[in-house]
Structure 1
């Protein structure tokens, strides 16, 4: 869609016609926008459904109560917030630019949006560390990484992310109160100083991603060395039974796909944010970058469905309603974790 068609499909009205301070209302009409509305709404519903399956699976089946799966559960909760709150609000603003829910709801939405993002980053860092310990020190993994320790890490990380988001909004308001003032009645645009954008980019994206990439580089270096050693010792057995990938290595490879998909989704948005003063824009390119980020929350459960046997088996129990059988939480989904 070119700029001429884009302008022709926008009818300019006012959000609150009886208020002289009302913002201009942009209602996007036309078959293209109706089609996008339907597609994006389906994506939102699909995201909620898939992440609910992950949450129910890990929460319900005791066999899945492992440290790694708890981190996946926490990541799914963050992705669920995106599909349940962030996506629907953005769809609403995409079709109708007006904000009808008031300043408090705007602030809450901004916090939830950024909280789900920050929590996802923290979860990915913990997942990377969890896989690093599992690969480099498998004999002591069960004693060093426990369900209790991971649960505490998850609680602390979510609490820290929430306090960080509230602090950023508070100090940004103190440092630039004029920019934080609402220009007109009926908008939800969070203005931030350029220095805060750079600071947030460094601490919420560059530093965490550097840690993740370094850890996974070490993981695959160790995994390659271990694979060579195993093949050298059990060369005859490998010819007889075929090369067998260890559960730890398979999990590391699967979760590395989750992480690198995350990076691919976030890099365009993070780089483009350096040239934008506000966190909301009508630019179509900006909209594409934002939805590319949101789509990451849809892709993660699909990766589990493709690579994880436990997810496929648990979904089968959930969809067929077999989880309502007696003591279903103790069902054996598979002989051993893979």
Structure 2
């Protein structure tokens, strides 16, 4: 559009001829194609990647373990982000308008927060599980049972859903910011402004579990290092069968802890920019440019698509399960009892 165009001609609304419509700030056609491609790819990967993880763990009986049930539930939370959150956020981010109604805006925001906190809680419980498995591998099966895993899964779903629903359906998050909220939420808008108190609660809800995971995984790797040195020092000596078994179990648990540690690091790297930006923004008068906010949000969303890639790179059993599923062998009656582990495992 040339510089001689009038301001009224340049102005675009989300809903033409509707009083109170939000002003639309669209990207160029080329930019829109790129953004839809990038965001759409993330949503598709989050949906199908996590669906494969859930299918693998639930179908193959060899994968039925407390840890893997937690991983499957984590994949379910990420799957929900890919289905219920990312597609609608994609349209809002690219079109700069919300076309799905005010009621669905609240529901979408509630799902966004709930599923993301559910992922965080799952990762926190997984880190506790790995800590017990590495520090006390022989006693671990009696401490972290399937029932205990079920309790952790229940907490990881119920608490985020109750918290998110109570905050966003009561409107307490915008106490003191009603005028700003009304100005932003014109017709075609779905912008949530959260007051300083709830932003601080959100940040602590992210920071405290993250700190717990950092402490636990730091201890895990210290113990793993000590175990590796002990095994190395006794390499030339004759080991009893019990000691040999303990060494194999410890090695297996360390490998699992390493992979899940990478998952935790990926989560923190993805979510830290958004968490810090939200905290700073609330205390600095919401000064973050829209494009910076969108980058932080989509870095966080993309975490839901990253976990299946991590499993594919580091879990041999997931690679084998993928081959069975993609080749159609999964429909055979005997597929559920297939051996997905190498003899060394």
Scaled by the length of structure 2, the TM-score of the pair is 0.87
How big is the shift at 1:18?
3.1
Describe the superposition over 1:169-208 as per-residue Cα deviations: whole angstroms up to 9, x where unpaired.
22625834725546422211112112211121012x1101
Matched residue, 2:83: 84
Distance 1:269 1:77 in 2: 22
Q: How does 1:159-174 map to 2 (within 5 A)?
A: 159-169=158-168, 170=170, 172=172
Matched residue, 1:227: 228
Does the 8 Å contact 1:190/1:280 carry over to 2?
no
SS in 1 for 2:26: strand
Does the 8 Å contact 1:189/1:279 carry over to 2?
no
Does the 8 Å contact 1:135/1:223 carry over to 2?
yes
**Does 191-200 or 33-42 show the bigger shift?**
33-42
Matched residue, 2:244: none
Q: Does 1:269 align with 2:274?
A: yes
Distance 2:148 2:279 in 1: 37
Distance 1:118 1:195 in 2: 18
| Number of residue pairs the alignment of both structures matches | 325
Superposed CA RMSD: 2.6
Over 3 Å counting, the alpha-carbon distance change for 1:279 and 1:143 in structure 2 is farther
Describe the superposition over 1:92-120 as per-residue Cα deviations: whole angstroms up to 9, x where unpaired.
01221222222211111001111111001
Does the 8 Å contact 2:102/2:190 carry over to 1?
yes
**Does 169-178 or 45-54 show the bigger shift?**
169-178
Q: Does 1:304 align with 2:311?
A: yes
Over 3 Å counting, the alpha-carbon distance change for 1:123 and 1:232 in structure 2 is same
**Does 277-286 or 99-108 show the bigger shift?**
277-286
SS in 2 for 1:27: coil
Q: How does 1:275-314 map to 2 (within 5 A)?
A: 275-277=280-282, 283-314=290-321
Distance 1:280 1:314 in 2: 47
Distance 2:174 2:300 in 1: 29
Distance 1:171 1:187 in 2: 17
Describe the superposition over 1:65-97 as per-residue Cα deviations: whole angstroms up to 9, x where unpaired.
111111111111111122222221121012212
Matched residue, 1:250: 255
Distance 1:144 1:118 in 2: 25
Does the 8 Å contact 2:131/2:216 carry over to 1?
yes
Matched residue, 2:335: 328
Does the 8 Å contact 2:173/2:198 carry over to 1?
no
Does the 8 Å contact 2:122/2:152 carry over to 1?
no
Does the 8 Å contact 1:281/1:287 carry over to 2?
no
How big is the shift at 1:64?
0.6
Describe the superposition over 1:286-323 as per-residue Cα deviations: whole angstroms up to 9, x where unpaired.
21121111121111111101110110010001000101
**Structure 1 residue ranges without an equivalent (≥5):** 5-9
Over 3 Å counting, the alpha-carbon distance change for 1:282 and 1:235 in structure 2 is same
Does the 8 Å contact 1:61/1:330 carry over to 2?
yes
Over 3 Å counting, the alpha-carbon distance change for 1:23 and 1:191 in structure 2 is same
How big is the shift at 1:210?
0.7
